[in-house]
Amino acid sequence: MFIFLKPLFHNIFGYFKSFFQEIVNLIFPNLCLICDRELLTVEQHICSFCTMEIHMIYFDPSTRENPLDKLFWGRVNVHSTFALFNFEKGTHEQKILHQLKYGFKAQFGIQLGKWMGTDWLQKNQHLKIDAFIPVPIHPRKKFNRGYNQSEQLANGIASILKVPVDCNFIRKSKNTNSQTKKSIFHRRLNVENVFKLSNNWRQYKHIVIVDDVVTTGATLEAMISIINKRYPALEISIFVLAMAK
């Protein structure tokens, strides 16, 4: 008897579920984070029109001389680098970074990370990675924001590449002030001695540090120099969502 009724209940439940979803969408419409246009059910966070206007970066994987590689020349040893798009003020990319960092959009970070992972995989299928290390933020900042945006990106990338994310490898011990309005010299001073490496020896050969945006590279430089000193044989690559032009 119940076997026959099961599809009927299933249909009724499905009907109420989509009806309820419509009501929720009416009260809280799902809008594009860039242009505020209502999203189609197949779209997530950003509409197709805005997605097409994002300035994606193409780095030739056969060369180690892309602009992000060059940023670290003479500063720290970096194995390889990857950035998904360029970042300029007043562009879609700036809105994406703002929403990721301050918009309480944890799931958006995962989606962007998946996007990074998919794009990277198309170009570099043979590089062996042992772990993704998100750039840490101070626990207080993480509490206020609800998440660490670099960790969300790393989780998204890791889900595509099937590589673990290690959030304990390096921690932030000091809550530095916002970097945005500081000069290059003061940014470097600001990030020195704020990172602490975990005491557990990890058997990694190649790690990838994940960050949301790179401007001067001071934060990444500080992190990498600490890791270089402790583990000189460890290869370190960098994945960022956006690179400032």
- Footprint of Zn ion (CB under 5 A): 32, 34-35, 37, 47, 50
Query: Are 213 and 87 spatial neighbours (Cβ–Cβ below 8 Å)?
Result: yes
Measured from the CB atom, the residue of 75 and 95 that comes closer to Zn ion is 95
Q: Please compute, for residue 61, the number of CA atoms within 13 A of its CA located in the half-sphere on the CB side.
A: 11
Instruction: Please state the closest distance from residue 106 (CB atom) to Zn ion, in A.
Output: 20
- Residue 18 CB, nearest distance to Zn ion (Å)? 24
Task: Quote the CA–CA distance of 129 and 207 in Å, as a whole number.
Answer: 6
CA 132, CA 217: separation in Å to the nearest integer?
18
Element (DSSP H or E) covering residue 196: strand 195-197
Within 28-91, residue ranges assigned H as helices are 48-52, 67-71
What does the alpha-carbon distance between residue 175 and residue 214 come to, in Å, rounded to a whole number?
19
CB of 35 to Zn ion, least distance (A): 3
Nearest approach, Cβ of 73 to Zn ion (angstroms)? Answer: 37
Q: How far is the CB of 45 from Zn ion (least distance, A)?
A: 9
CB-based contact 135:211 (threshold 8 Å): yes
Is 8 or 52 the residue whose CB approaches Zn ion more closely?
52
> 55 vs 75, which CB is nearer to Zn ion?
55
| C-beta contacts of 225-230 below 8 A and 24+ residues apart | 225/76, 226/170, 226/195, 226/197, 227/170, 227/197, 228/76, 228/77, 230/197
For residues 37 and 101, which CB has a smaller minimum distance to Zn ion in the complex?
Answer: 37
The smaller minimum CB distance to Zn ion, of residues 24 and 35, is found at 35
Supply the minimum distance, in Å, between the C-beta of residue 201 and Zn ion: 47
Closer to Zn ion by Cβ: residue 50 or 116 = 50
Q: Are strands 235-244 and 206-214 parallel, antiparallel or unpaired?
A: parallel
